Amino acid sequence: MHLTVKGTLFSAIFGLLLSGTASANIPKVVTDIPITHSLVTRVMAGIGMPDLIVDRGASPHEYSLRPSNAASLEAADLVFWISNGLTPWLDDALNTLARNAKVIELMDAKGATVLSFREGATFETHSHQHKHDEDGHDEDKHGEDKHDEDGHDEDEHATGNVDPHGWLDPYNGRIWLDVIATALSKIDPTNSDIYFANATQAKADIDTVISELEETLAEFRGTNFIVYHDAYQYFEKRFDVLAAGSISLGDVSDPSPARIAEVRKIVEELGITCVFSEPQFNSELVRTVSDRVSVKTRVIDPLGTQFTLGPDFYLNVLRGIAQSMASCL
């Protein structure tokens, strides 16, 4: 009996030691916004969970780091973020706090579609588009990469001209899943097969949602509408539903009276019947541009405030945008 208890105790202690070793080897991963968190969660399924900096309901354009966020960055092995254009306040923190981490800017991923911000309050039906040839942050430590050397397209990123809302093209999401799996595999090769298998399944799920959205939005192609801020062109171009204008700029800065007047004019001239607001921002501006004509207003949410964080969050955001459009157009 004594030997049995002793053996059982040894087994328990040995098991705990193994468990602690396995846990210690799991990459410490930090993500910027819930979209990124969702994609990384899918790839890390069965292995671990990433930390999140900007929670649901907060604007990524303006955010103050909490002490817990700073601690996560200091301990990080990997940081995934969309881009400096979405969270410019995060750049300094990455350079100072995440000096030992690999920092991967997803908008720099090879093959990703990148669009320039549209000019003016009303939009043409075309815009500059290109695909990146380099995955800037994937190879080097962020602390070793300065702004003019980190793989950015200088003439666009330097001027802040790149629209950072690239996740709204689900084909970018597919590309990013492979980037995430590759980065995780480099620092945790033992679990590489799991990361890539998870990414493959996640891409298949995105393909299913793309098909759903194409069917949902097919009848609304060519229908004019107004959005609160210029965040949706990746979604618009992918599914051929093009906004006629936006009330606010892409960085959500306050619109000028001239801009509001321009949007009011296009609403009246084109007979626009749908204007979209967003849960994080001033809905009074929506009423300002639509008070002289009869229009429907709906909430459209590129950040998924209403959805539960987790592996399905990204897919739910895409579905939510399509459903809002279908209910209004």
The string of pLDDT tens digits covering residues 45-65 is: 999 999 999 998 888 988 999
- Residue 298 burial (CB < 10 Å; 0-12/13-18/19+)? middle
Domain boundary among 204, 226, 257: 204
Residue partners of 252: CB distance under 8 A and separation at least 6: 59, 61, 229, 281
pLDDT, residue 287, reads 80
Write the pLDDT tens digit of every residue in 289-314.
877 678 888 999 888 999 999 999 99
Residue partners of 208: CB distance under 8 A and separation at least 6: none
Q: How far is CA 16 from CA 20, 23, 303, in A?
A: 6, 10, 40
Do 78 and 153 fall into the same domain? yes
What DSSP designation does 108 have? G
**CATH number of the domain that residue 270 is part of:** 3.40.50.1980
Cβ atoms of 82 and 166 within 8 Å: the answer is: yes
Report the run of H or E that residue 274 belongs to, with start and end.
strand 274-277
Do 254 and 200 fall into the same domain? no
pLDDT, residue 145, reads 40
Do 11 and 151 fall into the same domain? yes
What three-state secondary structure class fits 255? coil
- Tokens 């942050």 map to which residue? 137
Do 133 and 56 fall into the same domain? yes
Do 126 and 259 fall into the same domain? no
Write the pLDDT tens digit of every residue in 17-42.
344 434 558 999 999 999 999 999 99
| Cα torsion through 244, 260, 161, 31, rounded to 10 | -90
Please calculate the CA angle 277-278-279 and round it to the nearest 5 degrees: 130
Do 12 and 148 fall into the same domain? yes
Number of continuous H segments (helices) and E segments (strands) in the chain: 11, 10
Give me the domain span that covers residue 173: 2-204
Domain total for the chain?
Answer: 2
Band of residue 13 on the pLDDT scale cut at 50, 70, 90: very low
Write the pLDDT tens digit of every residue in 215-255.
999 999 989 999 988 899 999 999 999 899 998 876 667 88
| Cα torsion through 147, 153, 158, 163, rounded to 10 | -120
pLDDT, residue 160, reads 65
